[in-house]
Amino acid sequence: MERHAGGTARPITRYGTPVLHRRCAPVTVFDDALAALVADMFASMYAAHGVGLAANQVGVDARIFVVDCPDATGAHTIAHVVNPVLHLPEHRELVTDTEGCLSVPGQQADLARSATAAVTGVDLHGEPIRLDGTGTLARCFQHEVDHLDGLAYVDRLPVKQRKQILAASTEHPGVGVSAREGN
């Protein structure tokens, strides 16, 4: 796939906003509004210099994510997945690596994730798709599906570490466009 064009960058929703902390609603309507949302999500991800973005990170309660992320070989996958289902191997090799989040700007922490992951779902037209990931791409799939299930990476950290990261993040001005720029 090529780099996604078009769309309007939207403000990134910060940790603590209710839409980030509940399971997102399945997408049932495949129309121009959905296509526009996906284009806006790509624009928002690129404006914030991210490698993945879930719909609730732009304030939308819908099970969609976008990625532009390298796998273990360095090859980039640029894709969107509607109503994704995460598939992890039965016998997982865990890899600990640094992870950050556009909704928790300016902070990172080490977190163990499966070295491989796949997602199934549908595209903008309701056609089935499957993506397989290794390396950062596998981490990205797990991170974005977590978002759609109401979890941020910091929710997987010990409480004391989570509180420290969230406190430090409140001092960060944020990433991407501000609410004033986005309106």
Active-site amino acid positions: 144
- Give all strands (DSSP E) within 42-115, no chain letters: 52-54, 64-70, 76-87, 94-101, 104-114
d(CA 155, CA 22): 12
Question: Which H or E run includes 130?
Answer: strand 128-134
Helices (H) and strands (E) in the chain, counts: 4, 7
